[in-house]
Structure 1
Amino acid sequence: MDNSNLIKMANNIGAFFKSEPDRVLAIQGVEQHIRNFWEPRMRKQIIAYVEKGDQELLDIVAEAVKHIAAKP
């Protein structure tokens, strides 16, 4: 899958959870959604994208992806 599609999908998830006033819960929501609904190759691809240091993702999405990478 193209990175731009993954970024768009991830940021849409992040936009939904961004309304959560508790930042920790927002990050957990994004993380759980990606874990539950994205297939493993999509998760690997977004992890690799974040590890390269690109900044197109919302901050809560990037943080959630880092959590996923830390405990797969």
Structure 2
Amino acid sequence: MTATTSPQIRMVNDIAVQFHSRPPEKAVEWIADHIRKFWDPRMRADVRKRAAEQPEEFDPLALEAVRVLERETG
């Protein structure tokens, strides 16, 4: 992450860190579920856009969770 990393990227990466000790497939689903439940639709759209444009800024679990959401919404 850089000093100019968006708040949404920082938040999803912070969430992902909490799940690093879990099996990756479960962690990804839990992260995606958190985003579905608690994030505003604009935030979800923004993080999906940024994942496509700046994947290197994302924790691997966070990136996969965002990709799960992208597959759901198209």
TM-score by length of 1: 0.88
Secondary structure (helix, strand or coil) at the match of 1:12 reads: helix
Residue 17 of structure 1: CA displacement? 1.2
Name the structure 1 match of 2:29: 28
> Structure 2 unaligned runs (5+)?
none
Residue 33 of structure 1: CA displacement? 0.4
Contact kept, 8 Å, 2:32 with 2:66, in 1: the verdict is yes
Identical-pair percentage: 30
User: Relative to structure 1, is the Cα distance of residues 68 and 12 closer, same or farther in structure 2, using a 3 angstrom cutoff?
Assistant: same
Count of aligned pairs between the two proteins:
70
Looking at structure 1, the residues matched to 5 and 33 of structure 2 have their Cα atoms a distance apart, in angstroms, of: 20
CA RMSD of aligned residues (A): 1.5
Looking at structure 2, the residues matched to 65 and 35 of structure 1 have their Cα atoms a distance apart, in angstroms, of: 10
> Structure 1 unaligned runs (5+)?
none
Consecutive aligned runs of 4 or more in structure 1 exceeding 2 Å deviation: none
TM-score by length of 2: 0.86
Looking at structure 2, the residues matched to 6 and 23 of structure 1 have their Cα atoms a distance apart, in angstroms, of: 21
Residue 3 of structure 1: CA displacement? 5.4
